[in-house]
Structure 1
Amino acid sequence: MINGTDYVKYIKNKSIPFYSHSNNKKDDSITFHSASYNKSNWNSIITDDWHYMMHNSNDLPDQGWKIHISANLEDAQEVLIKVSELLITTKVSFKFIPDFLTLELSYSKNADRIEAGKFITIYPKNDTEFCELLDPLKRITDQFKEGPYILNDRPWKQSNVYYRYGGFRAMTAIKDGRTIYVIRTPDGDFIEDKRVPYFSKPDFVNEPIYIQENNTYPNPETFAKLDSLNIKEALHFSNAGGVYVGKYKGHDVVIKEGRPFIGIDQKQCDGFTRIKAEYKTLMKLKYVAGVVDPIGYEKIWKHNYLIEEKIPGETLGEYMAVNFPFPNNSDVTLYKHNALQIIHKLVNLVKEIHQKGFAIVDFQPENIMIDTDKRHGTINVRLIDFESAGPLNNRYNPNLVTQDYTSFQSKTFKDADWYTLNRIARSIFLPVESTMFYSPELEKRQNKNIKFKFGKDVVDYLTKVQNLCAKHTTIYRQPAFYDGYVETPQESINSNNLAQNIAALEKGITQNINYDLKGLIYGDIKQYNDSLSWYAINYGTMGTIMALQRNNSNILRTSAFRNWLNKVEERIDSITKQDSSFNVGLFDGLGGIALILYELGHKDMAEELIHRCNSTHNALNISMYSGLTGLGLVNLVLYLSTNKNNYMRVAKQIADTIISRYHSGEFDNQEEYEGRLGLIKGWAGPVIFLWKLGTLINDLHYRSEAIIILDKIVATGIINTEQGSALSDKSKGMVRILPYLDTGFAGLSLVLMDINLDAPNIIRKKYSNIWETIQKDVGSFCTYQCCLFSGTAGLAMYSNTVKLNFNKTNSFDIYLQALNNFMLSTNRKNMLVPGQFGVKCSMDYETGAAGVLIALLNIENQINWLPLLANNPLNIFNSKPTTQLKVMK
């Protein structure tokens, strides 16, 4: 799973404002290299994440005991040389992390805990070779410093050599609707290859006798002091260690764990070092009332533990998520009153802590505790997490900080705190993603929205706070990772400027197309996931091409584009011939790619690619995004275009599979995940697919099954609020209300409005409360992102659909205005869109400019935003009923 840490590798190319690989050798990380080898005997393959060294004579099993080598950052290259010398001599295949930056990021606090520490992975051919390698590898690694403990492996004789049983090749299956890694039992069945943060082995496997007789373990007495902490539950885990609730010497406490050699920050301090430093800092701030009190400090085994008071309340981030008056018709009085109190107290806290000679540094909403006394109408504000804190005038080098609240141009810790205070104050009233720069003009556009919601007095107060902060820091900043000019676009987005806005977005894309790139555009970093990801709808080329095609862009008629497309067609053909494990989804894989090729006139190749998709559809989830629903729609629109019965046959097979899986309990047995009930990645997608298929061919069975699943979604997720019905989400351990196109109420409402066009009596009577809420179009004042699926652009498009269905809207213009919280430009004439985390921009469909462009095209001209063939008779989400065909069921 990709997180914010992974984006660091893709922000260092300062010549462009987009996420990309670095183009400057000075920015490149130190590349690791193995010992010398005979190239005729070894197959060397380098990806972004791994350098594979596979011996030509190896015929590796699909699964078995594999060995991992952990290494300290300081001597990782030397470890690799010595270990690879042994492996090359013994002809054992292996892989290693290819460069220092990737290794450093994998050791960072928020990287994947399950994979952290696995510098070298070794693939023994059998159990005998596995056992024979352990002691020689231990003798080699014993010469070097201790590396991170690998959580889901078992160490060999308490060394840097670890092992676990698992898959050598990626084998996957679908379990309760989710894709899992699997291994094969001796009976030939598949079971889950569990990726958990502790040692686990399948029941049918025993450790070899040699392991059982010779491995050594720490003395159990080493861990006895853990009992004194009386740990009751875990609040949070990261590579740096866990955060727990416990009881210590009669106190209810929070316990922060520090692990050595892991949880690395940019200063290469590990979790252990930071916890030790935090305890010392808190002791010096012990009498600052707004700072969490330290109660104790313990070192147990290799870890250390900071014990501190358990503060009542919730984090500021949680407080804002629950209490912010997002609905446009909500009363803002109480939130406004409390928010002003919070900011006032934060200002005083910063002053008091600075008077003690310290800066907070990792100053952000998740480290601010809010306890509301409703009886007296007061707010208590406390600060936690001083891992990064230090003396005021220390040189500032951002490490464990949150991008939204960071200025990479701050010079000192003191400077950074004042900058962050201003950002927090503004985000309390406008919780949106920060962009790669901040200027008076962008601030002016954002203040217009704050004033509309909360009044001029709030803008005046924020200006007063900003003026205070400006005495200590520079408020307006240029991009930290782009050397060029950035400003706000000349034209703001509004309903009177849509044609100009669309033209500006197209310019922002076409002016930055790069024919030297495999993928032509600069999308989200997930476009680098695999060879096919470059071209997928979501983060790759085809989603952007679709948006340009829908806008009849001249660039698609140039010889340069046509030459590029011909080469890409050959590349996609080659990729999908060589590797049958490619994604086939509408948004993430070959299904969507093929439809855009078809629309561009490459029909024969498109149909061949769809044939390859159709041969693999049984192992898919049910979603429109990456699964059966998307592939079913692909086949349905191709049937409508070609009248070839095989496409209708596959569409029906897919529909029958979805229905069967639903009635077999897949819906009920699924684990919660964000968007499980939603349109793009959840069960609302199958509802619209089954309904459209049933209506198209006049088959009551498919329509009835669509309504059965829709009933289940409503019963499971719809809740009543002050603003009417809402779609709830429980994936984060709390009940959240999500408005978005992909995961929330907007997507489900599109489904209801589409079905209503075909069968109005069903929707208006059966779901009358939801229908009334849709008509009200209460809307949301802002969203964190501006993108199509989970941001403002998608909600603006949805609100326009409400207007088309009911001849009225309450939120459409507000959404359009909210887009101006984000838009950037490199020449005032074009328009760029911030990508994930806002550090750089994106041109893609799901997170960037192509998605915003397709939303505005839909608003202006009712252009189909789904990556299905344009103007097809399904009429999905274009405010027209389904065109019924005269065909046999």
Structure 2
Amino acid sequence: MDMRYVEFIQADPFFYDRLRTDRTHPATTDYRIAQNVDWAGWEQNTRDGWHGVFPRDLELPEQGWKVHVSATLENAQCVLDLVSGHCGRQRVPFKYRATRTDLLRINLKYADRGTSGKFVTVYPATEQACAEVLNDLDALVGGMDGPYVLSDLRWNQGPVYLRYGGFRALDVRDEHDQLVPAIRRPDGELVPDRRTPSFAPPAWVPLPAFVTTARERLNADDSEAFGYRVREALHFSNGGGVYLAERLRDAATVVLKEARPHAGLSPDGRDAVERLQCEREQLERLRGVPSIVGVLGGFEHSGHHFLVLEHVGGRSLNREIAARHPMVRAGASTHDRDEYRAWALGVLEQIEAGIRAVHEHGQVHGDLHPGNVLVTPDGTVRFVDLELSYAQDAPAPSAGGAPGFTPPDGRTGVAADLYSLACLKIALFIPLTPLLALDHRTARRLIDEAVRRFGLDIGFGAEVLARLEAPRTGGAPAGERTQQAEELARTWPVDTADGVQQLRTAIVRGLHESLDLSRADRVFPGDVRQFTHDALSIAHGACGVLPALHEPGESSHRADAVLDWVSAALHRAPRTQPGLLDGITGIARTFSRFGRVDEAARLTAEIERLPFEQLPGDLYGGLVGIGLDRLDEDPDGAAITEIRRVLRDRTGELGRHIRSVKGVTRAARDRGGLLRGATGAALFWLRCYETYHQAEDLDRARRALAVDLSACTERPDGSLQLDEDRRSLPYLGSGSIGVALVAMRLLEHLDDEDLRRAVRRVIRVTRAGYTAQSGLLNGRAGFVLFLTAVQRSPFADAVSRADLIRHTRDLGLYALVHGTGLHFPGEQILRASTDWASGSAGVLTALDAYAHVVHGTAPAPTPPIPGLFPGTGTVRPPEGALDLRSHQPEPTPST
């Protein structure tokens, strides 16, 4: 799980959202700067959770030594009064977290450790001014409570810190071709402004005497012997780390669990230290229970608290499921299924016995999920991480447990543990339990699927469902349209063109109902990227949902209203990304498609003035995507000529994201595949060849694709997947499916048996029965869209056609009823999303492509990446409708 998403599940029970200020609630009110200062000559603005306060007549340098002041939720207003008062009197610019919600958000357990704790940022204009500010603020707030700012050097006892970094917004391409904040070297070159969770000033910055003195003083304070030698960091969060360590006094192997004071907050405001102390108390009470990891002691070092735990060999149940589950492999047999079922039921028997022992000791586990269960090499189950455990006669902590295993109805105590156990019983077979909190009706679908696929006893499903269902409290019956949506989700009628159209109507209704034009930050709920820069875009914003809203013959007033909102938001936005899927290039295409010619022309002129040399080269937000758009719209223009030149000059950089680790070739994390890897460049050069007919462009396409193919590895099941650090990816946006799509396009112009072999091995990826997500770019809808392209290629056969039908049917597992419409979970499946990249709009694209290929409906959808799908050369045209009765789902995995 990507824990960055956990922050965005606190505000809304169904959609991803950011905790927002509510001035009627004291917990989220704005912080206020000192009232005894005249702020008339200061510029103030609020952006991205920061409120900036700058003297109008002061010109800041580009970079320098800056000061951070941390604070707790309890003392933040007091700290701000003192710090802002001093800065106001001395005319020193500063910014601060605008609300209590913003401060809570940056200090949550899974917040970014590089920004954690930074409540106020002060910008002294010179080194001397910085030294004076440090001393003055230390005199005012020194010794007050606040989280340690990990990226900085602590000044005396805190909460004042300092680091060297940028004062102005400058960007540069880093080694992975991403735009990142920049500072300038003495020779004038821009380099990344690294925000690491440790104090690491650039090597070329001379350290002033006050910095050197502070570091020496801090090292002297931390000179106390630690007593342990850390061998490996097992886990990190904003609350601290978990380490495998050797105890020096006796060479014993132990696990150390660290807690940082005032940091790693749970939503109820408890910090990591408070939770660690609670965990130690619970472990002491459960001492002697065989399934519980033993507690060996605890200590404090340099202000951080540590719990010493028994070391238990093995790996988490999560990892065991991933390694053993037959549905993640192509060609799994009935024997594989039976073997896994026997193992899973044996594990569940041990877990149930362990939970029963916890209850017999008067305790509640409080956070049972596969990540908190270890399976030892001999198959024994042990429970770890009991920081949410509590006595049965005590009130339950208000902080929730793991998404997908915590009862959404508020039940506590033993009943909550039994709910978590029921979820775990589903998750061992169909790991989609986060859907249960979004729509309780998914429980029966997941249970039925587990029983069908694994031949489980009917009584197993009945017992699990009984533990999941909350007591009925009456209430008004569902309306007719809601009942229709429930029936569609249950039956998922994709076997007829009329059934697909009914599903389409229900999904579009869900999009309409989720539209909210009153908000300034986003108009459709989607991925968490909306809260950084993608609220207008094709990938995650309004422009990706718009095509689904406006069908032929339908009134366009909603589409016009959304376009008006996008236009107004563009004028408000301080900086909008330039790219095809994340910014103004895609927005311009959307305006043009909907007849807003003048606005499209204005944005196009802005695109053509971009500093192409400074932009990254990827398809998602960089030059490749912009170039594909310009090829489509103005192939003879000056912009595409310049983009071609820049990308041609960068040909030698295409392999920068590829690494060789112990002889294994891998892509850097999140840097391979169609959207951000060399595959996008291959598509660009292929489209150039098809436009200008220059042989060297076809050769560039072939060589670019070879870069990402070099990072694809054959899995034990014979499929080909893109290999990244610690994971292999099959997906459309980031994995081997996207690579194969471009390879299929390339084969329209080349005769290359190695390339054909690679495509066939990628197609084998789709023989697997399980994908964690439903989305287009990183989930099952992408499998569907890919397989529709396969059907229009020389690689089409009866097996791939059957897999297309099966994956389209299995999209129904994720369908969520909300209001009177159908929705789909977004990235990480913790909340729903309507966007094109991860949510309902992308599922619609896949369903439309499926209906066109299988049922012969017209027209085929046009995804917003120009030239990606077969359409020229030796492609096979779409075939007629199939007799779906010959492709009914099998009761067991394919052999």
Distance 1:453 1:696, change over 3 A: farther
Matched residue, 2:782: 794
| CA apart distance, 1:215 | 7.5
The answer to whether the Cα contact below 8 Å between 1:636 and 1:648 also exists between their aligned partners in 2 is yes
For residues 482 and 829 of structure 2, the distance between their equivalents in structure 1, rounded to whole angstroms, comes to 14
Q: 2:811 aligns with which of 800, 813, 819?
A: 819
Q: Does 1:783 align with 2:771?
A: yes
Query: For residue 230 of structure 2, what is the aligned residue in structure 1?
Result: 231
- The answer to whether the 8 A contact 2:657-2:668 is kept is no
Task: Tell me which amino acid in the other structure corresponds to 1:520.
Answer: V
Aligned position for 1:278: 279
Partner residue of 1:712?
707
Matched letter for residue 361 of structure 2: K
- Map 1:118-197; keep pairs closer than 5 Å: 118-142=118-142, 145-176=144-175, 177-197=177-197
CA-to-partner distance for each residue in 1:724-771, whole Å, 9 max, x for gaps?
A: 23113223xx2x332211122222221222222333x22xx1234324
Residue aligning to 1:887: none
Query: Which residue pairs with 2:554 in the alignment?
Result: 554
Partner of 2:507: 505
Deviation at 1:186, TM superposition (A): 2.2
Q: What per-residue deviation string (whole Å, max 9, x for no partner) do you get for residues 433-480 of structure 1?
A: 5236466743332234323421243x542433454x46xx8389999x
**C-alpha contact (below 8 Å) 2:21/2:28 kept by paired residues:** no
Identity %: 24
Matched, 1:834 2:829: no
Tell me which residue corresponds to 1:365: 370
Match of 1:565 in 2: 563
Query: What is the deviation of 1:111?
Result: 0.8
Q: Is the 8 A contact 1:539 1:847 kept in 2?
A: yes
User: CA 1:620–1:9 in 2, change beyond 3 Å: closer, same or farther?
Assistant: farther
**Given the alignment of the two structures, is residue 758 of structure 1 paired with residue 753 of structure 2, yes or no?**
no
Tell whether the 8 Å contact from 2:722 to 2:730 is kept in structure 1 after alignment. no
Aligned match of 2:838: 847
Provide the residue aligned with 2:88 in structure 1: 88
Pair 112,138 (structure 1): closer, same or farther in 2 beyond 3 Å: same
Provide the residue aligned with 1:863 in structure 2: 860
Give the Cα separation in 2 of the matches to 1:20 and 1:511. 20
Cα distance in structure 1, aligned partners of 2:835 and 2:473: 26
Partner of 2:893: none
Q: Classify 1:864/1:697 alpha carbon distance in 2 versus 1 (closer, same or farther; 3 Å).
A: farther
Distance 1:313 1:369 in 2: 6
Amino acid at match of 1:621: P
What's 2:402 paired with? Answer: 402
Residues 55 and 438 (structure 1), Cα distance of their counterparts in 2 relative to 1, 3 Å cut: closer
Alpha-carbon offset, residue 827 of structure 1:
4.8
The one-letter code sitting in structure 2 at the alignment partner of 1:474 is A
| Counterpart amino acid of residue 588 in structure 1 | D
Inter-partner Cα distance in structure 1 for 2:640 and 2:219: 65
Partner of 2:345: 340
Corresponding residue for residue 629 of structure 2: 634
Task: Return the alpha-carbon distance in structure 1 between the equivalents of residues 48 and 212 of structure 2.
Answer: 37
Change (3 A) 1:61 1:411: same
Structure 1 residues 585-594 or 413-422, which shifts more? Answer: 413-422
2: CA distance, partners of 1:707 / 1:154: 49
Alpha carbons of structure 1 residues 23 and 169: separation in structure 2 relative to 1, 3 Å: closer
Instruction: Please give the per-residue CA displacement for 1:846-878, whole angstroms capped at 9, x wherever unaligned.
Output: 222111112212222363453157xxxx4x314
Cα distance in 1, alignment partners of residues 657 and 331 from structure 2: 38
What do the CA deviations read for 1:300-334 (whole angstroms, capped 9, x no partner)? Answer: 22122212122111111111222222235313222
- The answer on 1:526 being equivalent to 2:529 is yes
The answer on 1:515 being equivalent to 2:514 is no
Instruction: Give the equivalent residue in structure 1 for 2:593.
Output: 599
**Inter-CA distance 193–425: structure 2 relative to 1 (3 Å threshold):** same
What residue is the counterpart of 1:886 in the other structure? none
SS of alignment partner, residue 535 of structure 2: helix
C-alpha contact 2:721 2:762 (8 A) present in aligned 1: no
Give the drift of 1:671: 8.9
In structure 2, the CA distance between the partners of 1:485 and 1:349, relative to structure 1 (3 Å rule), is: farther
Provide the rounded CA distance (Å) in 1 between the counterparts of 2:695 and 2:307.
Answer: 63
Match of 2:757 among 739, 757, 769: 769
How high is the TM-score relative to the length of structure 1?
0.88
> Aligned in 2, Cα 1:826/1:255: closer, same or farther, shift over 3 Å?
closer
Q: 1:675 touches 1:742 (CA, 8 Å); kept in 2?
A: no
Q: How far apart are the structure 2 equivalents of 1:565 and 1:517?
A: 14
Correspondence for 1:542: 543
TM-score (norm 2): 0.87
SS in 2 for 1:741: coil
Measured in 1, the distance between the counterparts of 2:553 and 2:302 equals 64
Cα RMSD (Å):
3.1
| Aligned match of 1:421 | 421
Looking at structure 2, the residues matched to 721 and 219 of structure 1 have their Cα atoms a distance apart, in angstroms, of: 50
What displacement does 1:335 show? Answer: 1.8
Q: CA deviation at 1:49?
A: 1.4
Once the two structures are TM-superposed, the CA of residue 775 in structure 1 deviates from its matched residue by 5.5
Give the aligned partner of residue 802 of structure 2: 810
The residue identity in structure 2 corresponding to 1:155 is R
- Measured against aligned partners, the alpha-carbon deviations of 1:379-421 in whole angstroms (never above 9, x if no partner) come to 2111111122111243334426221212242332323211111
Do the aligned partners of 1:393 and 1:414 also contact (CA within 8 Å) in 2?
no
CA contact (8 A) 1:419 1:474 kept: no
Q: Quick one: distance in 2 between partners of 1:10 and 1:676?
A: 31
Aligned position for 2:684: 689
- Structure 2, unmatched stretches of 5+, are 853-858, 876-895
1:272 positional shift: 2.1
Rounded Cα–Cα distance in structure 2 between residues aligned with 1:585 and 1:74: 42
Q: Shift of the alpha carbon at 1:778?
A: 4.2
2:472 and 2:110 map into 1 onto residues whose CA distance is 29
Indicate conservation of the 8 Å contact 2:366/2:401, yes or no: yes
Instruction: Tell me if 1:489 matches 2:482.
Output: no
Letter in 2 for 1:712: V
What displacement does 1:141 show? 0.7
State the 1:121 CA deviation: 0.6
Aligned residues: 840
Distance of aligned partners of 1:781 and 1:139 in 2 relative to their CA distance in 1, 3 Å threshold = same
Instruction: Determine if the alignment matches structure 1 residue 679 to structure 2 residue 677.
Output: no
Change (3 A) 1:570 1:305: closer
CA positional deviation for 1:88:
1.1
1:273 Cα deviation after fit: 2.5
**Relative to structure 2, which stretch is displaced further, 86-95 or 215-224?**
215-224
Q: Following the alignment from structure 1 to structure 2, what is the Cα–Cα distance between the partners of residues 633 and 654?
A: 14
Q: Is the 8 A contact 1:844 1:850 kept in 2?
A: yes
**Per-residue deviation at 1:178?**
2.8
Report matched runs for 1:427-466 at 5 Å: 427-432=427-432, 434-435=434-435, 437=437, 441-457=441-457, 460-466=459-465
Change (3 A) 1:436 1:343: closer
Deviation of 1:690 (Å) = 1.3
Q: Which amino acid aligns with 1:835?
A: G
Change over 3 Å in CA distance of 1:138–1:407 after alignment to 2: same
Please say if residues 9 and 831 of structure 2, whose CA atoms lie closer than 8 Å, have aligned partners that are also in contact.
no
Superposed CA offset, 1:352-404 (max 9, x none):
1111111121222111111344xxxxx21111111221112433344262212
Partners of 1:627 and 1:362 lie apart in 2 by 42
CA–CA distance in 2 between the matches of 1:477 and 1:229?
Answer: 55
Match of 2:887 in 1: none
Pick closer, same or farther for the CA change 1:619–1:864 going to 2, 3 Å: farther
Aligned residues of 2:405 and 2:420 also touching (Cα < 8 A): yes
Rounded to whole Å, the distance in 2 between the matches of 1:110 and 1:541 is: 28
Measure how far apart 1:567 and its partner are: 6.1
Find the aligned partners of 2:482 and 2:361 in 1 and give their Cα distance: 39
Q: Which amino acid aligns with 1:833?
A: F
Structure 1 gap segments, 5+ residues each: 374-378, 884-889
CA apart distance, 1:9: 5.6
Contact 1:404/1:837, CA 8 A, preserved across alignment: no
CA distance in 1, matches of 2:698, 2:290: 62
Could you tell which deviates more after superposition, 774-783 or 311-320?
774-783
